[in-house]
Amino acid sequence: MATIASRLRRSHGATRLRGSISALGRGWWVYVAPIAIAVACLYFLPLLINWYLAFTDWSGFKTGIDFTGLANFRTLQDLYNLTDQVRLTVIYAVTASFIGNVIALTLALALEERTRGNQLFRAIFFIPVLLSPLAAGYVWAGILNAAGPLNQVISIVIPGFDTAWLGNSTLAIFLVAAIDAWKWMGFYTLIYIAGLSTVPGELKEAAVSLGANRWQVFRNAKLPFLAPAITFNVTVTVIGAMSTFDIILATTGGGPGNATRVLNILTLDQFGIGYFGLASATSLVVTIMVTLTAIPLIWFLRRRELNG
């Protein structure tokens, strides 16, 4: 009798569970609706409004807003050489992504083992991530100043050395991109370490026993397992760098001249002087660039990830 009663209780419990799951399935929209509304109001609606305003003459110097078609984009090209700002933005994004990922992967390989020393260094390298981008930019602006500590240290070896690092119109864009990479490098390192933790120890031991050197172990045993981490880090670094402005604002402000005036700095400049339609147009260019870059990049990296 006890066995029969136990079976009946289990059967009744299973029936109730199936009923709960079925009820949850019928009412899924109750849980999804608040999130969908929040995303629509906080993301898609402002995006659509920005799309419309990019084609208007909205400014702080007139009361009305009139549709002007592509006039804003022609103005940006004529006054600010929009194609040059796009080029600078791409250079900045590629440089920041390359430097950040190469150094982060190198650090991850060096700190792969879970020793006390490595745990300490992981925490130390993560400290810049906790800093505000503006604070990081101001710190590096002081370090790279002509009278800053970097020149003073170099002057010990090369007396009289005096270089305005961020005043060099050729180097400036690469230097601020390197600062961006330094700021987020600790985060990317942890992602790579997480990827390395999925590599089976037996696979590494087998590769070593077969006479593989460090490069061969990395290439044949570790790299395939790092594919998801590479996909994430490369995508995030490129998209994040395309959307940045705070580090550049704190270091060069877009200078010297227009040497570091990426699209978001141009957007900020237009908002600051009251040409909101032009700022919306520039912001729209950034959105299109990020979209056109992210979709094929993710597709390519995911395809490479799945195909090994």
Interacting residues of 228 by C-beta distance below 8 A, sequence separation 6+: 195, 305
3-class SS of residue 200: coil
Q: Cα(198)–Cα(53) distance, rounded to whole angstroms? A: 48
Mean pLDDT of 79-94: 92
- pLDDT, one tens digit per residue, over 255-272 is 898 899 999 999 999 989
Quickly state the pLDDT bin for 15 (edges 50, 70, 90). low
Whether the pLDDT of residue 5 is over 50: the answer is no
- pLDDT, one tens digit per residue, over 50-64 is 999 999 999 988 888
Encoded amino acid at 136, one letter: A
* 198 phi, psi to nearest 5 deg: -90, -5
Interacting residues of 89 by C-beta distance below 8 A, sequence separation 6+: 242, 262, 263, 264, 286, 289
